[in-house]
A and B are shown apart, each in its own frame.
Chain A
């Protein structure tokens, strides 16, 4: 549990960081975090050392997020990769009152409704986790390898549209990076333009 005074200091830093959203470059160590999921359980990045970790920024009302959920695409990816031992965190950084903000109960009901199966959903209404990674859009995807190094930062695929019909012909950067890394190969496309709606941080 992060102490209140430390949390306040971190929140102030986050306000300064919003001026220039610093991103984390693939190849550098992924920042450790401490966040709570929709069942009240705390997760840190460091406790998952030895596993691949995917961070998926999410806003259910954004038409780009909707494209990947209404089509079942995101749920398929979550199912496929968690069954291969990947830890998949969906992250919600919408501030209270902003589009996409969810309480724990609302989010749990939503997961049932859309049959999503991430390892957990991290609730980040203060935006600390989002600003730590420089999450800009929903969706925005990050992949961390078992050594704790960021190996992917960018969009989910290469068709920056709201059309579900673009999914089958798009190159999925998340699957590509995980396949390559798991085969011991360098990730051929470690960055791409993250596309979607802006993350609805507090103003």
Chain B
């Protein structure tokens, strides 16, 4: 290393889960030499810290080790980018990206809508909250291909004047699983078309619309190379809410102007946020008070004034202190213990 240089950029790959090329995450740490020309002892931890402080705010499971990028390139390891060129929209861009570099007949694979937004601008969750509209996609797929609905990573609460919306800032990937037909011929390319409409807001809102195409080669059964988007798909799938364990027995009591949502996670929960799937059930802008117990928590949710009769279920995503999100479907009971359905 050059003694006169104070800073150096160290480029690493991070093994996120196992020592497997498919779980590599790229990381660039800018590190400062000390007076003796040595690297600080904790310089490798900088990559771990970077991933901890993404907007997901959680540790990725099992950092196993760091491998300098140079050594991987020498080993002939190449990641290919598979995506359509990002289309500029109002205050950001959108593109369709694919997790694998090629696809196989009959083998499902993941693609996603990748939004990158200017600072302060946001797009919306499936339930946008008090205002706004979630992004929508219409696929044009070759014969026999099927696409799942959009999958929604855990959203955040976003203040909009006196309202609360649910959505995403900076960057988000909305994953979609695609199932190609088993009879698909190999040795050629297929084109996936996506017509995407969305609303992006800060103080004001602007609709966006883009027509995107993604071309992927079809190869016969051979374990495909991941594309360079693979790490983003891993991070995003970790951020998709999971079904709550049955043992949690979520249940909601409707008392006066409040839902009391009881969830028995099996341990004391000190913080939680509930994102309802349906509009007009919970007052989005009201604070949600957490009463923790040794068995879990009781969450106080203000009822929406536009809720005229009690719903049979209160369904949505419960996010706990660790940042993990769980899909909850809580039957609603009235104070006299009568079920509402």
Contact = CB atoms under 8 A, between A and B. Distances in A.
Q: Do A and B bind each other?
A: yes
- The interface residues of chain B, by DSSP majority, are classed as loop
B306 interface: yes
Contacts of B304: 23
B199 A21 contact: no
B283 A26 contact: no
B207 interface: yes
Interface stretch (B14-22, B148-156, B159-167): B159-167
Interface residues of A, number: 36
- The interface residues of chain A, by DSSP majority, are classed as loop
A20 B207 contact: no
Contacts of B283: 20
B206 A63 contact: yes
7 contacts: A23-B305, A162-B207, A193-B279, A193-B306, A197-B132, A198-B165, A199-B162
B130 A134 contact: no
Q: Name, among A22, A134, A162, the residue most crowded by chain B CB atoms within 10 Å (CB to CB).
A: A162
Interface string A46-86: 00000000000000011110000000000000000000000
A190 B305 CA distance: 12
Interface string A12-52: 00000011111111100000000000000000000000000
What 6 A-B pairs have minimum CB-CB distances, sorted nearest first?
A23-B305, A18-B162, A193-B279, A198-B131, A162-B207, A191-B306
Nearest to A22: B305
Contacts of A190: 308
A21 B162 CA distance: 7
Contacts of B262: none
A19 B305 contact: no
Nearest to B306: A191
Interface residue tally of chain B, by bracket?
A: 20 to 34
Given A99-B203, A193-B280, A203 B306 contact: no
Interface of B: 130-133, 160-163, 165, 197, 199, 201, 203-207, 279-280, 283, 285-286, 302, 304-306, 308
Given A19-B285, A191-B308, A162 B163 contact: no
Given A25-B308, A162-B133, A62 B205 contact: yes
A198 B161 contact: yes
A50 to B, nearest CB: 26
Contacts of B203: 98-99, 200
Given A20-B302, A62-B205, A161 B161 contact: no
